[in-house]
Structure 1
Amino acid sequence: MENTHFCQSCGMPLTTEDAKGTENNGQKTNDYCKYCYEDSNFKNPDMNLEEMKNTVKMHMEKKNLPIYMVQKALNILPALKRWKNKQFVI
């Protein structure tokens, strides 16, 4: 069984090549999704963790996902690569 990669910005499962973001050479990355990352750059570079939480919550609620799934997704965001080192910056 193959390991599923998750976007290290929003937590979205990267289950298909189409879902993956790109590096500046056009190569797909296993670290970020196409909604967060393109051409080796974040699409919203100034976004903070709270804004990402709000975005993730909104998209998951639009899909009518159960609240426990939404909460689980929000709880993992601070541990993702993009946010891990930024949560202690003042």
Structure 2
Amino acid sequence: MSVDRWVSIYNASRKRKDKRTELPTSCSPNFSYSTPAHFNSTNHIVNVPKVDIQLFLENDYSDRNVMFTHTPDWFHQLATSVMTHFN
């Protein structure tokens, strides 16, 4: 599942009521973000230009592939050699 799909599902899913938080519960994030007045609040979402996000990623996270690696390099090399052996 792609991250975009996960975010879409997560933001559309209704959350359980939680009395221990001040955040809106018992509704979906999409509803709480789009109707802040329903919760006696105002819209505090800040739109960040895509250019700024891209600069941030390039300057601070230039090697993003490593961030999404779930196994050490030696494990990947071993698994690749085992798979090659079985094929």
Rg: which structure is higher? 2
TM-score class normalised by the smaller sequence: under 0.3
Q: Which has the higher strand share?
A: 1
Q: Which has the higher helix share?
A: 2
After TM superposition, the score normalised by the length of structure 2 is: 0.25
After TM superposition, the score normalised by the length of structure 1 is: 0.25
